[in-house]
Amino acid sequence: MSQVFSGDLVGTGLRIGIVASRWNDFMVGKLVEGARDALVRHGVSDDAIDIAHVPGCFELPLVAKKMVEIGRYDAIVCLGAVIRGATPHFDYVAGEAARGIARVGLESGVPVAFGVLTCDSVEQAIERSGSKGGNKGVEAATAAIEMANLLRAIDAA
């Protein structure tokens, strides 16, 4: 008999680590607020959410890896904003953040959500951190809950 696996959005009992960059704090602060609010509204206890602050998005993967290694979390939520400038710096920072975050998840088996804005302008970043483009922190937090529960469901089969 075939099985269909899915992760629900019930966060009760989950422990979540957030890693947030200090760069572009005006927007990233809103992503953190959105992520925390979404986690709590989905049933994650406030004291089961820890947060680590890193200098910039380039540093997100290393600290996500450290948070995975201590074994305390069911999922990690990485939050940041990279905004394109006049040089190729954007591509290096955004590319390494995305690659590193994906790698931590794949190598550890712990879900690591990618809540990083990669925008051409400050306006685009503001739109996606709680105004008309939604809030990438909320999206990443709910993805983290769903993935943690999906992996549990597959394990339990």
Task: Enumerate the active-site residues.
Answer: 89
- Whose CB is nearest to ligand INI? 56
Asked whether position 29 contacts ligand INI by CB under 6 A, the answer is no
Interacting residues of 25 by C-beta distance below 8 A, sequence separation 6+: none
Q: Which of 29, 43, 56, 95 binds ligand INI (CB under 6 A)?
A: 56
**Smaller CB separation from ligand INI, 54 or 110:** 54
Tell the smallest beta-carbon distance from residue 51 to ligand INI (Å).
16
Which residues on adjacent β-strands are paired with residue 131? Answer: 134
Q: Phi/psi of residue 86, each to 5°?
A: -85, -5
Contact residues for ligand INI (CB under 6 A)?
Answer: 21, 23-24, 55-59, 80-83, 85, 89-90, 93
